[in-house]
Amino acid sequence: MESNAGMMIWQLIIAALAILAVSIMGWVLIHRTRHVRRKRRLQKRRELLNASFIHYLVDERDLTHATGYDRILKLAGKGHQQEIIDVAHTIVTHVRGNTAKRVRAFYVSTGLVEVSLKKLTSRDHYQLITGMRELAAMEYKEGVTYLLPLLHHTDPIVRTEAHIAVVHLADDPLFFMKKVKNFVIWEQINVLNALKMRTANSIPPAGTWLSSPDILVVQFCLLVIVQFDQRECLPEIHELLKSDNQRRVYLALLAIQKLKDSRSQRPVKELLLSAKNQTVRKLAMTVLHELSGPVQWLAISEELKKTTHLRLTA
């Protein structure tokens, strides 16, 4: 009797385990099928979207009576705006000219821009960054006002993306300099890379900000001046050589070295005569040597020796 009862318990356990295994397998199978179907649906929709975009961009010249345009609008209505924005974003990153212009016009006229603007109010940093990147890629200039509060975001990555987006969209790409805080070097490099995307003549002279009390701002301005060869800022750089802060002087010397302008010879020579800091003196000597050339350098070094001797004897 006892052995029969034990057998029954075992049989029950095995049956329960079998049922559990079958239900797990069934659940996995259903889940997989659903996943595959969803993937296929997504793929199909993406292909339809791509085809509609191509049809709209290549075959249709009339914006209002266009089947591709209508098909995309229909898809947008079904709640797939993000997919449409993704496709549009890819196109404008690879293509410029009239085709990109048409995509951007579509983005604004269909209200897809609202989806990107909505992301700027999100608490999710990823959403914030995506929204900013979309606005920048689509060259939505009105978006600058929405980006301004993000320039002071606590997260440095969000802040950098906001700077980059503003540089892309604003008429004066350096206007954010007025309120910039904690502008660390990697932020500066990212913004400088964004500036490089613009035409050189659309960048205002950065010399205006060289008098800023924030040394990081001064450093960035000097980077901009050197990158875009803004020689009109030389008087401001020369003024910086008179600063009491030796770090500012050093940075100014580095910029002068890169600009290689002979007009800087006299201010550097004057600095060399008055500088007390050894590092600054050493760099000033190198810069002056590079600016003057070997022949002129001989005369200058003689003159420097005399002056130093006179100063020492006095």
Contact positions toward another protein, by CB under 8 A?
A: 50-51, 53-54, 57-59, 87, 90-100
In the complex, the smallest distance separating the C-beta of residue 301 from another protein, rounded to whole angstroms, is 37
Q: How many whole angstroms separate alpha carbon 38 and alpha carbon 133?
A: 28
Cβ atoms of residues 68 and 81 within 8 Å: no
For residues 91 and 150, which CB has a smaller minimum distance to another protein in the complex? 91
In the complex, the smallest distance separating the C-beta of residue 160 from another protein, rounded to whole angstroms, is 21
For residues 9 and 58, which CB has a smaller minimum distance to another protein in the complex? 58
In the complex, the smallest distance separating the C-beta of residue 17 from another protein, rounded to whole angstroms, is 46
For residues 32 and 198, which CB has a smaller minimum distance to another protein in the complex? 198
* Cβ atoms < 10 Å from Cβ of 273: 14
Q: How many whole angstroms separate alpha carbon 6 and alpha carbon 10?
A: 6
Cβ atoms of residues 167 and 173 within 8 Å: yes
In the complex, the smallest distance separating the C-beta of residue 153 from another protein, rounded to whole angstroms, is 29
For residues 46 and 153, which CB has a smaller minimum distance to another protein in the complex? 46
Q: How many whole angstroms separate alpha carbon 311 and alpha carbon 145?
A: 58
For residues 103 and 283, which CB has a smaller minimum distance to another protein in the complex? 103
**158: its two tokens:** 């969000």
Q: How many whole angstroms separate alpha carbon 129 and alpha carbon 84?
A: 18
In the complex, the smallest distance separating the C-beta of residue 34 from another protein, rounded to whole angstroms, is 25
- List, in order, residues 6 or more apart from 172 with CB less than 8 Å away: 204
Coil, strand, or helix at residue 308?
A: helix
For residues 83 and 239, which CB has a smaller minimum distance to another protein in the complex? 83
Nearest-10 Cα torsion for 210, 215, 216, 221? 10
In the complex, the smallest distance separating the C-beta of residue 136 from another protein, rounded to whole angstroms, is 14
